[in-house]
Amino acid sequence: MIEMKSWLPIAAESDFSIYNLPFGIYSQKGGKKHVGIAIGDKVVNLFGLSENQMLDVASAFFAQDYLNDFIRLGKNVTRKVRLDVQRLLCEEDSPLRASPELLIDQSEVQMHLPVRIGDYTDFYSSIEHATNVGVMFRDPEHALLPNWKHIPVGYHGRASSIVVSGVPIHRPMGQVLPKDATEPVFAASSRVDFELEMGYIIGKDTSLGDRVSTAEAEEYIFGKVLFNDWSARDIQKWEYVPLGPFLAKNFGSSVSPWVVTMEALEPFRVAGPKQETKVLPYLEATGDRNFDIQLEVAISPEGSEEQVVSRSNFKHMYWNMAQQLAHHTVNGCDVHVGDMMASGTISGPTPDAYGSMLELAWAGTKPLEMRDGTVRRFIEDGDTVTMRGYADKDGVRVGFGEVSAQVLPAKVY
Amino acid sequence: MIEMKSWLPIAAESDFSIYNLPFGIYSQKGGKKHVGIAIGDKVVNLFGLSENQMLDVASAFFAQDYLNDFIRLGKNVTRKVRLDVQRLLCEEDSPLRASPELLIDQSEVQMHLPVRIGDYTDFYSSIEHATNVGVMFRDPEHALLPNWKHIPVGYHGRASSIVVSGVPIHRPMGQVLPKDATEPVFAASSRVDFELEMGYIIGKDTSLGDRVSTAEAEEYIFGKVLFNDWSARDIQKWEYVPLGPFLAKNFGSSVSPWVVTMEALEPFRVAGPKQETKVLPYLEATGDRNFDIQLEVAISPEGSEEQVVSRSNFKHMYWNMAQQLAHHTVNGCDVHVGDMMASGTISGPTPDAYGSMLELAWAGTKPLEMRDGTVRRFIEDGDTVTMRGYADKDGVRVGFGEVSAQVLPAKVY
């Protein structure tokens, strides 16, 4: 990697190094939404750069509520914008350096949902997670279902209820089946859980009937975010057979605001777990298709210090993004710019790397201790759950910031 | 009902009577998309009506690719537009009568997808269908799963692959598990099926955390369409446990182009089937919540006459739309203008009223004979499947036209 240095002071531990430069949607107090790039503790005002002839993309593409129209310009354009900003932040005599008003403090902006999400698909691609769930709820001897090693299992989720980091989530009400009962009751979920996931955002449209091969897949991926797929385990248990999770998942999902591009993640490629069961040819993917991204989850009880409860890594994913997208489109299903594809819970091989409370506290049998002395089997009202992620190699750090949200009490009508 | 008569000649058997006046998106050769209303064999050019001061809604709302912005004006406005058009079509000295160019032959327009669909949910609300599936694939003694009479079971579908009537659908490729095999193969589905459904379109936004009661639900429903939820039964069987149908359903769904408003359906309200299992209070819905809408499905083998294979009725639905929407939002999930909610397969109580080939040919064991002497267990390449629906009472007919699509051979790469 070519070493780069900005004239802007950037903390060594910043997720938003000169090597990162993720895109997001921000607004200043009372102002309109704009496309920005994060650098250190600043936001680069791309609209301003364009208006001042520092970028060769029309400023209208940066005065947007969502990144979709910008992304739709194509990777040739979006890559160049990112590289132009990198150059502007490095060159000693850069015109940006002479325009400090185009660098806004992150503390002065509000971040918004980065893309208008058309469709949202959630995969189930961590073998550790799928195995843990199978051991707990089915048969430890046959924890994985017969299709799991053949199919990157996925299902459709609700796009409308995906919100940006910071938006609180109300505990859902719903139907749950009390232990040993045969009739459900209506109640607030008592098993609200997080799921540590990462999402990727589609960067290029296909048409109905088109297929994206594993070789082409990454050209269709714009970038990645952290994704908390909030789940209500008790609602899920009663509703999900035979058509899958519904109200247990669609009361809210939280995403981090900065979209880290595939280009920024390139240095962190690694091989994935070996797939010993031979996959069908359309799922074969050569080369290093995983990414070494360290992940952590912390819980902060209201008014108390946070406790990190999980440290996992995206590199554990059994099915990679290229396989997921090739599978999703093999039947001709069309994808579009802004679609969100989430990984499924990212559990690692050791118990401290599990990606949900369900697994960490093993269905409530192994409660976790918080710093304030309380214990957690699931998430309590007032708790804030924060997920962080970053890649780090040879002194180069590319991070995602965080996705954080507080769980509020159920709204009772 | 007040008897109405238009000065425009309208065939007695037309779905698009003066009592109907559904909204849709049409274009003329080379022209832009516009909002229109169907009447007899004509389309009313609402943009033209507005430009000529015959409507008090700005013409920009009718120069649209989708109905969403028009619907978002609210029922007070959309109801009035429909009534204004009704009046313009009835009054002898109407200015519309003096402007015949504002009534375009339906044969001269192309119809388009009526709404930009945000999210799509598919329910599973016919007790006959759920029972038939249970008898075939599970246990005839316990055909319905324990949750079925407590929950209007639903799941998220793919919005992007919903297309308007007339768009052909390619047979999907995918993973299927051959009989007695343990390893899947990659093949074209050999069990492509239709599902006779109706969809309703959300007419009013909620916010995340809001709940819509059964009493309020119909205020959130703009209107209804016919919906063919194409399914690949062999792909479905291998993939759907544990997270539900995915590639078996998202290769295409077809909808009729004209959205029949709830106001037009009002005269056809009927009581639904008695729900003998008591539902939780949030699902209680008083009054007549079903609609008497006759439905039929016909198959036309390529180059041959069509054969009607099913005659069903929307009134058989066990769970009504108000219950579906109350359930969908009880956990705070937000809904938005243009969202599509489909009923699930609408099977009636007798074998000739089943809403899918799976049920009509009873998993392939009772093939149906076509007029050309061939038989059908599932849908063959070249077959066109057409669904029609209309309500009829006291000489008043309100119909949906049709949703029709041909199945093309799989695209082999």
The reported pLDDT for the residue numbered B412 is 85
pLDDT in tens, B97-112: 999 999 999 999 999 9
8 A C-beta contact, residue A255 and residue A229? no
Count Cβ atoms below 10 Å from residue B183 Cβ, excluding itself. 12
Q: Give A119 to chain B, closest Cα distance, Å.
A: 6
The reported pLDDT for the residue numbered B137 is 87
Query: What is the C-alpha to C-alpha distance for residues A282 and B339, in angstroms, rounded to an integer?
Result: 33
A42, β-bridge pairs: A39, A105
Interface predicted TM-score of the whole assembly (ipTM), two decimals: 0.97
* Type of residue found at A208: L
Of A160, A174, A251, the CB nearest to B119: A160
Which residues of chain B does A232 touch, with a Cβ-Cβ cutoff of 8 Å? 331
Which residue in chain A is spatially nearest to B212 when comparing CA positions? A413
Is the predicted pLDDT of residue A1 greater than 90, yes or no? no
Q: Give B386 to chain A, closest Cα distance, Å.
A: 20
Whether the predicted model's global pTM rises above the 0.80 cut: yes
For B220, counting Cβ atoms within 10 Å of its Cβ (0-12 exposed, 13-18 middle, 19+ buried), the class is buried
The reported pLDDT for the residue numbered B226 is 99
Of B146, B170, B186, the CB nearest to A280: B186
* A43 CB-side CA count, 13 A: 24
DSSP string covering B310-377: EEEEGGG-SS-HHHHHHHHHTT-----TT-EEE------SSGGG-SBHHHHTTTTTSPEEPTTS-EES
Residue whose token pair is 């002065």: A108
Question: Residue A122's closest CA among A324, A348, A273?
Answer: A324
End-to-end distance of chain A based on CA atoms, in angstroms? 57
Average pLDDT over residues B146-156: 98
Does A229 belong to an annotated binding site?
A: yes
Which residues of chain B does A247 touch, with a Cβ-Cβ cutoff of 8 Å? 327-328, 330-331, 333
Which residues of chain B does A235 touch, with a Cβ-Cβ cutoff of 8 Å? 331
The reported pLDDT for the residue numbered A408 is 98
8 A C-beta contact, residue A266 and residue A241? no
Residue whose token pair is 């890649």: A391
Residues 6 or more apart whose Cβ sits within 8 Å of residue B369: B307, B375
Query: What is the C-alpha to C-alpha distance for residues B10 and A243, in angstroms, rounded to an integer?
Result: 44
Does B229 belong to an annotated binding site?
A: yes
At residue A400, what are phi and psi to the nearest 5 degrees? -105, 0
Average pLDDT over residues B146-175: 98
The reported pLDDT for the residue numbered B138 is 87
A225, β-bridge pairs: A199
The reported pLDDT for the residue numbered A2 is 81
Q: Give B351 to chain A, closest Cα distance, Å.
A: 24
The SS3 assignment for B137 reads helix
Counts of helices then strands in chain A (DSSP H, E): 8, 26
Given pLDDT bands bounded at 50, 70 and 90, which one contains residue A221?
very high
8 A C-beta contact, residue A407 and residue A382? yes
Mean residue pLDDT across chain B = 97
Q: What domains are defined for chain B?
A: 23-112 (2.30.30.230), 120-408 (3.90.850.10)
pLDDT in tens, A72-122: 999 999 999 999 999 999 999 999 999 999 999 999 999 999 999 999 999
B-interface mutation test, from A214, A331, A337, A407, most B Cβ less than 10 A away = A331
User: Do the chains contact at B250 and A173, CB–CB below 8 Å?
Assistant: no
Is the predicted pLDDT of residue B37 greater than 90, yes or no? yes
